[in-house]
Amino acid sequence: MVEALRQQDPAALAILSETPIDFRFQDETHDISMRAPVITLDSAGNLVEMRLNNWIRDALHLPVEQMDAWYSAYALLWKLFHSEAHQLEFTLLPGQMVAFDNRRVLHGRREFDPNSGARHLQGTYLDRDMLASRLRVLARNV
């Protein structure tokens, strides 16, 4: 995806990899807080991780003159993710599982028709943000 963005609009890649934004979710048991670009690249320009989670993306705290460019770059990235050329779709058979780095693979599910049979889907997540969140929550009680 990064290569597609780099080829289509290098300025959009620069914006999304150089502009930190806020991600935030807080409740009784979680305190997720991160300020980072949507895309993190290494010194060679290779993808390290991507944060594409509108559920915890906080309000955009950028100078007004940067907002239009940021939203345009983000919309292009979103469009690329939703294009069939950048999707891999497969069906798991009973007993199969899939595991992936949540910051390296954007994942989702297609709509399920309950008339087509039974489905059991179980997920679990363990990531760096959740570990940091747990440590902050525990520190509240110290």
Residue 25: predicted pLDDT: 87
CB 12 within 8 A of CB 73: yes
Beta bridge partners of 111: none
Distance CA 107, CA 101 (A): 10
Residue 112: predicted pLDDT: 74
Convert the pLDDT of each residue in 98-134 to its tens digit.
776 666 566 666 777 788 877 777 777 667 777 788 8
Distance CA 52, CA 29 (A): 22
Residue 82: predicted pLDDT: 85
Contacts of 75 (CB under 8 A, 6+ apart): none
Q: How many domains does the chain have?
A: 1
Q: What tokens appear for 89 in the block?
A: 């779709």
Residue 102: predicted pLDDT: 63
Position 111, amino acid: E
Residue 122: predicted pLDDT: 72
- Domain of residue 83, residue span: 2-140
Residues of the chain predicted below pLDDT 70: 100-109, 125-126
